[in-house]
Amino acid sequence: MDTLESSRVLGWTAPTALLSGDFAAAILTGVLGVQSGWFAASPVALGVLLALWVTCLVASHAADPSWVESRPRVCHHVVRAGCSLALTGTAATLVLADSLAPREVFVLAALWVALSCALRLAVASLGAGAARASRPLVVVGDGEQLSPHALATLERRVGGPVPVAQVVTDASARRPDVGVALGVGDVAGYARRVQAGAVVAIPGPGLDAASLRHLQWELEGIRMPFYVDPGMVGVASTRLMPVDVGGLSLVRIRAAQRRGLSWTVIGWAGRVTAAVGLAILLPALVLIAVAIRSTSPGPAIYRQVRVGQHGRVFTIYKFRTMVAAPRPTLVDNDFDDVLFKLRSDPRVTPLGRCLRRYSLDELPQLANVMLGHMRLVGPRPALPEEVTEYSEDARRRLVVKPGITGLWQVSGRSDLSWQETVRLDLHYVDNWSPWLDLAILCRTPGAIVGHRGAY
């Protein structure tokens, strides 16, 4: 619901406001660059570049308010605009050869892309935060569709309770435990009474296509934003594209982006990064290994069989954090379904507890990344005995290589339930993008310092 919350604050004035901010920041940095001597561009050449920049932003749809629906999308559009500026600006140097150099074009394009991304991400964050403290989001649907799980998910994403209106066409289908009972014609009035910022409809038997059309007319009359749940769970908005087929409005779902140039480049970049990281961290790794050997009996590196992409097994490397001992007896539901994880496992050594707290025990997994068994970002690597208990949904986690970090790791790790773990991993598998990997990597240091769920 970050989409709805941010859009409610930014509204339809976002394109003008954001383009004005982009233009002002570009003028300021361009003028300062020329005055300080960084660039030798003439005022005419700088004006041409500024005009090209705004044109490229508009052509790349960076001014479309829908970018708020997915924060990585704004970076995608702005980077695309920056590439267009670099190409068109280079062509402009052929005409303005005496007052503009290709080097200046590329430097300014990179600088303006960075400023625009920072500006727009800041606006999205501030907009979402302000909206959460302002007007509520009203959810409407019939009793069967308004499940407690769906409402809890909405409340968690919005950051507070949401008013619920239950559309009732059959009195026997009413659920007394869910919201207020309304007819379709009463929803607009109810939304106005609670001063709603937007209405979300979850279609069902009591809220069919005709009812949705009439509801849209009613909300249009009071200028209320209206959203309809397409019924797809775990599909990012970047994969949804509205299409019209003979007057029938449909939503096309793009295939997951798990192949092609981006996937290959990110994979090899991760392997190179892992190799460089191992070389840089080698002294620290040696010190940790010596400390493990000197404080408890056994090898410093622990080897364990894990299941990787498409069910292929491999040996994972970790610093040993336990002593050899039988698995303790389970008490007080210490494990959840498939995962076995004790908060206070007596086998963990004092040094091992410290290593786990800050995820230092996972550093040897950089070798697995370098060897191609894992990626820097991906689902949690599974044990063979866990995989034997996987449901059909959980097995989809094996479509990609496991990772050292991932949505599970930065969202709470062992504090999450097995169902929540699967949901996060499936979201990653089905909605992968370079920007999602980048976002997870940026959140990883905070998750390590916070050490939530690390035990």
Got the DSSP string for 194-226? TT-SEEEEE-BTTB-HHHHHHHHHHHHHTT--E
**pLDDT for the residue 447:** 79
**pLDDT for the residue 369:** 96
Mean pLDDT value across residues 170-174: 52
Query: What are the distances in angstroms from CA 106 to CA 28, 90, 111, 148?
Result: 17, 8, 9, 52
Higher pLDDT, 141 or 268: 268
**pLDDT for the residue 124:** 60
In eight-state DSSP terms, residue 335 is S
Mean pLDDT of the chain: 76
**pLDDT for the residue 121:** 72
In eight-state DSSP terms, residue 316 is E
pLDDT over 70 at 51, yes or no: yes
Which pLDDT band, with edges at 50, 70 and 90, does 333 fall under?
A: very low
Domains and CATH numbers, the chain: 2-132 (no CATH), 137-253 (3.40.50), 261-325+333-450 (no CATH)
**pLDDT for the residue 129:** 46
**pLDDT for the residue 322:** 87
Which pLDDT band, with edges at 50, 70 and 90, does 67 fall under?
A: very low
What contacts 6, CB < 8 A, 6 or more positions away?
68, 124, 127, 128, 131
Helices and strands, counts by H and E, the chain = 16, 11
Phi and psi at 363, nearest 5°, equal: -60, -40
- Amino acid, single-letter form, for residue 102: P
**pLDDT for the residue 34:** 65
What span, in angstroms and rounded, lies between the C-alpha atoms of 45 and 97?
10
**pLDDT for the residue 184:** 78
What span, in angstroms and rounded, lies between the C-alpha atoms of 291 and 352?
10
Query: What are the distances in angstroms from CA 23 to CA 19, 32, 57, 60, 116?
Result: 6, 14, 10, 15, 9
What span, in angstroms and rounded, lies between the C-alpha atoms of 313 and 384?
8
- The structure tokens 């908060």 sit at 343
What span, in angstroms and rounded, lies between the C-alpha atoms of 378 and 408?
9
pLDDT over 50 at 2, yes or no: no
Alpha helices in 95-244 (DSSP H): 102-132, 148-158, 187-193, 209-221
**pLDDT for the residue 13:** 41
Mean pLDDT value across residues 57-63: 71
What span, in angstroms and rounded, lies between the C-alpha atoms of 280 and 273?
10
pLDDT over 60 at 68, yes or no: no
What contacts 58, CB < 8 A, 6 or more positions away?
19
**pLDDT for the residue 372:** 93
Write out pLDDT tens, residues 102-132: 777 788 888 888 887 777 777 666 554 444 4
* Of 86, 100, 94, 102, the residue nearest 45 (C-alpha): 100
**pLDDT for the residue 384:** 92
pLDDT over 60 at 224, yes or no: yes
* Of 137, 194, 150, the residue nearest 7 (C-alpha): 137
- The structure tokens 């140039």 sit at 261
Is residue 344 within 8 Å of residue 332, measured between CB atoms? Answer: no
DSSP helix, strand, coil percent of the chain (3-state; round to 5): 55, 15, 30
Mean pLDDT value across residues 342-368: 86
The gap between the terminal CA atoms of the chain, to the nearest Å, is 31
Is residue 125 within 8 Å of residue 149, measured between CB atoms? Answer: no
Q: Which structure tokens are listed for 356?
A: 């786990």
Is residue 178 within 8 Å of residue 166, measured between CB atoms? Answer: yes
Mean pLDDT value across residues 48-62: 78
What span, in angstroms and rounded, lies between the C-alpha atoms of 165 and 135?
16
Mean pLDDT value across residues 141-152: 62
Q: Which pTM does this prediction carry? A: 0.63
* Of 218, 200, 199, the residue nearest 210 (C-alpha): 218
